[in-house]
């Protein structure tokens, strides 16, 4: 069975991806992997909201999304950002198809809570649609939107969409690509990067407040993926080449271990 790799692109990194990123995606395809790309677009959503005089508000790392903000998110994610990524993949010879979680009911969702507005949490992934796309040898590029009952649409944290897809497809790896080197832990005197850890340690650091803000959804999404057969989750910096060389790995690598040892630098 072909191994699958889900790559999540954070909105803040899209403009600053390493020049070799898409070529590395092509190399993975050449090696026989199936690739699924999931993306956000947070910074661009905020930029467009600001242009119409609308302030971005966040709660526990999630964007508060009213109807107007949802419209902006749909335009930016399913329109501009999605097609930019598809074009980049096409430029290196990969056949990519851009869609949002609304298309084909790829991502079904429900409202996360009323305070966040039209922010959803994933309830179901349309696995058959993804398999159909992958069987053609195409690369699906998925914008982090979802559809609920009564045709309601939701803005969904892209980390959570990527994690849900990785779980549904039994992906071997989930690679979270952002603008930071990995998960940082706040100690009493400094910030240190978490190199390797298990889900239990990550959850511990969330509970103690040593992991906070926008890193919480990313960390929790990683934990869920590992609890559903995903072998490893990488959290890496997209301004650098993807770290496929074990000796040169820079980032946070999360996986199930017997021991709860942790490596910090």
Confidence check: pLDDT of 215 > 90: no
Check residue 260 and give its pLDDT.
43
Percentage of residues in the chain with pLDDT exceeding 90? 71
Check residue 187 and give its pLDDT.
75
Check residue 261 and give its pLDDT.
44
Is beta strand 4-9 parallel, antiparallel or unpaired with respect to 96-100? unpaired
The distance from CA 140 to its chain's CA centroid, rounded to whole angstroms, is 14
Separation CA 130–CA 103 (nearest Å): 11
Separation CA 181–CA 228 (nearest Å): 25
Fold assignment, 4-264: Carbamate kinase (3.40.1160)
* Annotated binding-site members for substrate: 41-42, 63, 155
Separation CA 98–CA 80 (nearest Å): 11
| β partners of residue 178 | 237
Of residues 11 and 68, more confidently modeled:
68
Condensed to tens digits (0 to 9), the pLDDT of residues 217-255 reads: 889 999 999 998 899 999 999 999 888 877 778 899 998
Check residue 83 and give its pLDDT.
96
| β partners of residue 81 | none
Percentage of residues in the chain with pLDDT exceeding 70? 95
Q: What is the mean pLDDT of the chain?
A: 91
Q: Which band of pLDDT confidence, cut at 50, 70 and 90, is reported for residue 36? A: very high
* Annotated binding-site members: 41-42, 63, 155
Condensed to tens digits (0 to 9), the pLDDT of residues 117-163 reads: 999 999 999 999 999 999 999 999 999 999 998 889 999 999 999 99
Q: Which band of pLDDT confidence, cut at 50, 70 and 90, is reported for residue 12? A: confident
Number of Cα atoms under 13 Å in the Cβ half of residue 185: 22
For the chain, the structural domain boundaries read 4-264
The predicted model scores a pTM of: 0.92
Average pLDDT in the 162-172 region?
97
Confidence check: pLDDT of 262 > 50: no
């Amino acid at each position: 069975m072909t191994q699958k790799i889900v790559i999540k692109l954070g909105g803040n990194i899209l403009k600053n991806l390493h020049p070799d990123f898409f070529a590395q995606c092509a190399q993975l395809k050449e090696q026989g992997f199936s690739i699924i790309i999931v993306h956000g677009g947070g910074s661009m959503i905020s930029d467009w909201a600001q242009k119409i005089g609308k302030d971005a508000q966040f709660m526990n790392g999630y964007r508060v999304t009213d109807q107007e903000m949802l419209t902006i998110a749909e335009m930016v994610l399913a329109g501009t950002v999605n097609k930019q990524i598809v074009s980049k993949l096409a430029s290196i010879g990969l056949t990519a198809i851009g869609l949002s979680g609304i298309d084909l009911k790829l991502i079904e969702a429900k409202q996360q809570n009323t305070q966040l507005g039209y922010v959803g949490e994933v309830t179901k992934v349309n696995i058959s649609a993804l398999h159909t796309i992958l069987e053609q040898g195409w690369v699906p590029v998925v914008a982090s939107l979802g559809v609920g009952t009564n045709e309601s649409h939701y803005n969904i944290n892209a980390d959570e969409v990527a994690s849900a897809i990785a779980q549904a497809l039994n992906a071997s790896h989930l690679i979270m690509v952002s603008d930071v080197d990995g998960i940082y832990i706040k100690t009493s005197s400094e910030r240190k990067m978490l190199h390797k850890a298990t889900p239990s340690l990550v959850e511990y650091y969330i509970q103690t407040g040593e992991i906070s803000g926008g890193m919480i959804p990313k960390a929790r999404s990683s934990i869920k993926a590992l609890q559903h057969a995903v072998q490893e989750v990488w959290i890496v910096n997209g301004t650098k080449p993807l770290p496929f060389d074990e000796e040169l790995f820079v980032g946070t690598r999360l996986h199930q271990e017997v021991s709860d040892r942790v490596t910090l630098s």
